[in-house]
Amino acid sequence: MMEIGEFARLGGVSARMLRHYDRIGLLVPAHTAANGRRSYDESQLGRLHRLVALKGLGFGLDEVGALLGEGVGVEELRGMLRLREAELERRVRHDRHALDRVTARLRLIEEDRMNPNVEIKYLDAVTVAALSTTTPGDLVDVEALFDEVIERMDAAGADRTAPVARLRSVDEATVEVVAGYVVPANSVPGLETHRLPARTVASTIHQGPLSGLPTAYAALRRWGGQHCPACWRQQYLEADGDNQTHWIVELQLELHDGEA
């Protein structure tokens, strides 16, 4: 038998919380002395760990009690954890994309139209569910590639957040294109999984039809001069509907070490 303090330490909770669990019948001590001192059996640690895990997954104490009463097992807890993890990852992706959109709007407000603002920033590595192709540079059709990606993601019921394309010059005439959506590590059926590396980039914001992207890219090339890298990305921040008048795309040139 363990005193409440030792049991609380092993379970990673406070003694006050254990007293609360006792009062509401969620975790009753194995023995309570006449003076009110609570003692717990080591076998009760499993129930305590399940209780804490279920609370961490967002369940209320009433729901926790019901689930414990049903004898929820380790595999069930693991499944719940995977679902919760996926939901939190989805929320982070949506929040990150929303923040990028607001930041892009602010940059558009602040910049001089005649001299687009170039910003240096660091991009974390991301995993994308995508399709890729290698094509002559003058025949790159990112939209067509995205159309196919969207069709396959919708068929799989996959969450579509944070569309991004990465273009890499293979040689003077050929470009490798990867177009897709940021996803968790798990792949989407029918799509390739690509890991876009962490990079420092020079970026500018383009608002309007995609036909204007070459102009924005040319401005970045002028900024980069002879050291302009062979890889660039297009992050689609607002790209809903067929009317591209209000579309917002962040064009990003990957910089080699020391170029920032």
Q: Residue 50 phi/psi, 5° resolution?
A: -65, -40
Model confidence pLDDT, tens digit, residues 112-124: 655 667 889 999 9
**Are residues 48 and 144 both part of a single domain?**
no
**Parent domain of 111:** 88-255
Contact 104, 205 (CB under 8 A): yes
Rg, the chain, Cα only: 27
For residue 194, what pLDDT is reported? 92
The whole-number pLDDT of residue 114 equals 54
Of residues 203, 185, 201, the one with CA closest to residue 193: 185
The count of C-alpha atoms lying within 13 angstroms of the C-alpha of 87, restricted to the half-sphere facing its C-beta, is: 8
Does residue 218 form part of some domain? yes
* Angstrom distance (rounded) from CA 260 to CA 258: 6
Instruction: Write down which residue in 18, 37, 72 finishes a domain.
Output: 72
What is the DSSP code string of the chain?
-EEHHHHHHHHTS-HHHHHHHHHTTSS--SEE-TT--EEE-GGGHHHHHHHHHHHHTT--HHHHHHHHHTT--HHHHHHHHHHHHHHHHHHHHHHHHHHHHHHHHHHHHHSBTTB---EEEEE--EEEEEEEEEEEGGG--HHHHHHHHHHHHHHHT-----EEEEEEESSSSEEEEEEEEE--SSPPTTSEEEEEPPEEEEEEEEES-GGGHHHHHHHHHHHHGGG--SEEEEEEEE--SS-GGG-EEEEEEEEPTT--
Q: What would the mean pLDDT of 36-62 be, rounded to a whole number?
A: 87
Shared domain check, 184 and 141: yes
End residue of a domain, out of 72, 102, 119: 72
In a domain, 182, yes or no: yes
- Whether residue 203 sits in one domain with residue 155: yes
Please indicate, yes or no, whether residues 119 and 219 belong to a single structural domain of this protein.
yes
Residue 249 lies in a domain: yes
- Structural contact between residues 231 and 167, judged by C-beta atoms closer than 8 angstroms: yes
Contact criterion met (CB below 8 Å) for 161 and 90: yes
Task: Count how many domains the chain has.
Answer: 2
Tens digit of each residue's pLDDT (9 = 90 or more) over 175-206: 999 999 998 766 788 899 999 999 999 999 99
Q: What is the mean pLDDT of residues 71-84?
A: 78
Instruction: Give per-residue pLDDT as tens, 216-241.
Output: 888 787 776 655 557 899 999 998 88
CATH value at residue 208: 3.20.80.10
Report the alpha-carbon distance of residue 213 to residue 195 in Å, rounded.
Answer: 24
Which residue has 């076998």 as its token pair?
A: 43
Of the residues 72, 101, 120, which one is the last residue of a structural domain?
72
pLDDT band, very low/low/confident/very high, at 166 (cuts 50, 70, 90): very high
Residue 258 confidence (pLDDT) above 60: no
User: Cα separation of 51 and 80, whole Å?
Assistant: 13
Are 66 and 122 in the same domain? Answer: no
CATH number at residue 36: 1.10.1660.10
Looking at the domain assignment, is residue 81 inside a domain?
no
* Domain assignment of residue 208, yes or no: yes
- pLDDT at residue number 260: 40
Residue 71 has pLDDT above 90, yes or no: no
- Is the separation of the CB atoms in 72 and 50 below 8 Å? yes
